[in-house]
């Protein structure tokens, strides 16, 4: 039986795209059974667009300022994503809140990486907030995207210890290393589950009829 096609992904970014780079590297290295059909950014200067171009992945820009309203921007973003028929939408540092209709359109197929041990420290500035709160553990979470900000079901987490010498920057670097480790694993697990589901629903081949 032929092997299943790679998982078709669209990645949304806003900045550097280091998590995107790890995904692209793992795909190229055969670690991740997927293909990035497109990278879409809401920032034209996002370095992640250059990462996509180097990997020969279509890189598109959908900027809020190019549209007369938030609703028009969101409609354009949804149409761009739909054009690539993704099986999974991966948020890799995407700083826009997705509207309910986007989440409904790709229900159960939008994955995000967040730099905290959710449900702690939803939103921004998570590293400094963890330090200010006197936490001894911090980390990263992969989760499904729902209408609640950073509130969807958790798929995977990784922890790092916080030392007295830590700053927000040193903590960010250690957490980012864990993000790079667990995001591809979570996506690969999704790809494997998809492949297993396809195999279960595939009709059994019929033997030739006897003459």
CA distances from 105 to 59, 82, 98, 144 (A): 22, 9, 11, 14
The number of C-alpha atoms within 13 Å of 86 and in the hemisphere containing its C-beta is 28
First-residue to last-residue Cα distance in the chain: 26
Q: Is residue 2 part of a domain?
A: no
Here the CATH number for the domain that contains residue 39 is: 3.40.50.170
The total number of structural domains in the chain stands at 1
The predicted pLDDT at position 199 comes to 53
Is 138 an annotated catalytic residue? no
Instruction: Give the list of residues 6+ apart from residue 16 with CB closer than 8 angstroms, or none.
Output: 46, 47, 48, 93
Give a yes or no: residue 179 inside a domain: yes
Does some domain include residue 206?
no
Q: What is the pLDDT along the chain (211 residues), one digit of tens a residue?
A: 345 799 999 999 999 999 999 999 999 999 999 999 999 999 999 999 999 999 999 999 999 999 999 999 999 999 999 999 999 999 999 999 999 999 999 999 999 999 999 999 999 999 999 999 999 999 999 999 999 999 999 999 999 999 999 999 999 999 999 999 999 999 999 999 987 765 554 443 333 333 2
- Both structure tokens of 61: 């820009």
Domain of 127, in residue numbers? 7-201
The catalytically annotated residue of 114, 127, 138, 143 is: 114
Kindly tell me the number of DSSP H helices and DSSP E strands found in the chain.
6, 7
pLDDT of residue 201: 45
Is residue 211 in a domain? no
Residues 6+ apart with CB under 8 A from 29: none
pLDDT value for 194? 82
Q: Quick check: is 208 in a domain?
A: no
Residue 207, in any domain of the structure: no
The dihedral built from the CA positions of residue 43, 47, 51 and 53, taken in this order, carries a sign that is positive
Phi, psi of 104 (to 5 degrees): -65, -40
């Amino acid at each position: 039986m032929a092997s299943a096609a790679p998982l078709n992904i669209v990645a949304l970014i806003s900045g550097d795209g280091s998590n995107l780079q790890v995904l692209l590297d793992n795909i190229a290295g055969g670690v991740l059974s997927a293909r990035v059909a497109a990278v879409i950014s809401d920032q034209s200067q996002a370095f992640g667009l250059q990462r996509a171009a180097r990997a020969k992945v279509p890189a598109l820009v959908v900027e809020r300022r190019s549209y007369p309203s938030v609703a028009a921007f969101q409609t354009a973003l949804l149409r761009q994503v739909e054009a690539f028929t993704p099986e999974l939408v991966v948020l890799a540092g995407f700083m826009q809140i997705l509207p309910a209709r986007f989440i409904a359109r790709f229900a159960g197929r939008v994955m995000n990486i967040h730099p905290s041990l959710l449900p702690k420290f939803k939103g921004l500035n998570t590293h400094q907030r963890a330090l200010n709160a006197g936490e001894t553990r911090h980390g990263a979470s992969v989760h499904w995207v729902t209408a609640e900000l950073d509130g969807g079901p958790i798929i995977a987490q990784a922890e790092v210890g916080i030392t007295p010498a830590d700053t927000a920057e040193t903590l960010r670097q250690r957490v980012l290393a864990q993000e790079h480790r667990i995001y591809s694993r979570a996506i690969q697990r999704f790809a494997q589950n998809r492949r297993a589901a396809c195999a279960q629903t595939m009709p059994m081949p019929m033997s030739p009829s006897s003459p």
